[in-house]
Structure 1
């Protein structure tokens, strides 16, 4: 369904953090500790400007923001150690989890395309019970560039054997929306930060302005043409 006259939806590509799993606070805590160990007080206000970047890119961008030199390989490893320690508290978002189950039952091809390392994608999906429903996964580490480049979405589409114009991306952050549009795909945006709402979210084909709290799985199923 989607926009009138649009190509039929043949695959749904999922962002992970902030869309399927409520991990932004967990990621921020890990990043806060990494920066604290470097003598920097990373605040939530600063981090908000970098939501949606991949695991390595966000650390590099934050280090540049603070004007400090980062040992990125060591920082990424330290961040992932901290994240893994926090996984027992990870929760799935109920509206999108419901949508995954409904789409899987309808036979819709799906993949996860994320800026997180593959180990983190696997661990997150396992922790929230969605691993079996989303076996196709593409990490930024497997492609040339992270969001807002389209690489992860194009790689996921190739893996599913679906043309970009027949894919719908579900995202929570501006870099992901820009990546989806650069890939020639339609995009449903469920912003994780709504106050203020970045005007670039308007590029999405369907924008849930009030974020996850306003998501109705039935409406999204109808939009992608399953109902």
Structure 2
């Protein structure tokens, strides 16, 4: 008999909104301005899912930065990112199938939230741009507020499960990044789904902790979730 789960936690960037190219472009511009070079794809892939508090010092590794300087550089990079998102109106939408799945989750009263490495300014931007308050409570989301270690530490997913009132083992997590998958796995999440382009499915199925891989939310198996309210 298939095991079912009581709650679901979504990463956001690259998971509900395909925006990796915008983050890549913003970090590349930042690196070019500050270091006079382009960021490499290998560097960028290593940064996915991590916070600016980790990424900025890694890019500017030859400088002694204060906490305030790191925060200011991070704010600047995120402002660049938001500009790039707004410029690309054609792709400024949630991943295919996500609105329909979220409607069903809400109608079924399944506990759900977002656990993201984004900071509050970006989360507020996402809520306004995508109308996320239709499905989520901003106060119930977990984002980078500088009070806990970022991914791949397990803290973010343990906090998200706690906010939902369930154990990590009772949760599904949907993630797109290696550090996020490692975070969910270390947190003891019961079922981890990676979301990726079809050509990346084989890669993600080899990542420890991954139970399934999807390309969009039309492929999500709703029978994995327990429904307090039946359709």
> Which TM-score band applies after superposition, normalised by the shorter structure?
0.7 to 0.9
State the shift of 1:203 in Å.
1.9
**What CA deviation, in whole Å up to 9, does each residue of 1:111-155 have, x standing for no partner?**
110111022122123212323311121112254101111111111
> 1:93-132 alignment to 2 at 5 Å?
93-132=95-134
Alignment correspondent of 2:194? 189
C-alpha change, 1:131 and 1:56, in structure 2 (3 Å) is: farther
Residue aligned with 1:169, SS = strand
State the shift of 1:188 in Å.
1.0
Alignment correspondent of 1:154? 158
TM-score normalised by length of structure 2: 0.81
C-alpha change, 1:86 and 1:224, in structure 2 (3 Å) is: same
Alignment correspondent of 1:22? 18
C-alpha change, 1:45 and 1:184, in structure 2 (3 Å) is: closer
RMSD of aligned C-alpha atoms?
Answer: 2.6
| Matched-pair contact (CA < 8 Å) for 2:49–2:179 | yes
CA distance in 2, matches of 1:11, 1:225: 8
Alignment correspondent of 1:61? 58
CA distance in 2, matches of 1:84, 1:102: 29
Of 70, 73, 77, which aligns to 2:71?
73
Residue aligned with 1:12, SS = strand
State the shift of 1:55 in Å.
3.2
| Matched-pair contact (CA < 8 Å) for 1:55–1:117 | no
Residue aligned with 1:194, SS = helix
State the shift of 1:32 in Å.
1.1
Matched, 1:170 2:174: yes
Greater shift in the superposed pair: 104-113 or 12-21? 104-113
Matched, 1:203 2:204: no
**What CA deviation, in whole Å up to 9, does each residue of 1:1-57 have, x standing for no partner?**
xx84x4x41211110100011211111111111111111211334312322222332
Residue aligned with 1:94, SS = coil
Of 62, 66, 82, which aligns to 1:84?
82
| Matched-pair contact (CA < 8 Å) for 1:143–1:151 | no
| Matched-pair contact (CA < 8 Å) for 1:12–1:169 | yes
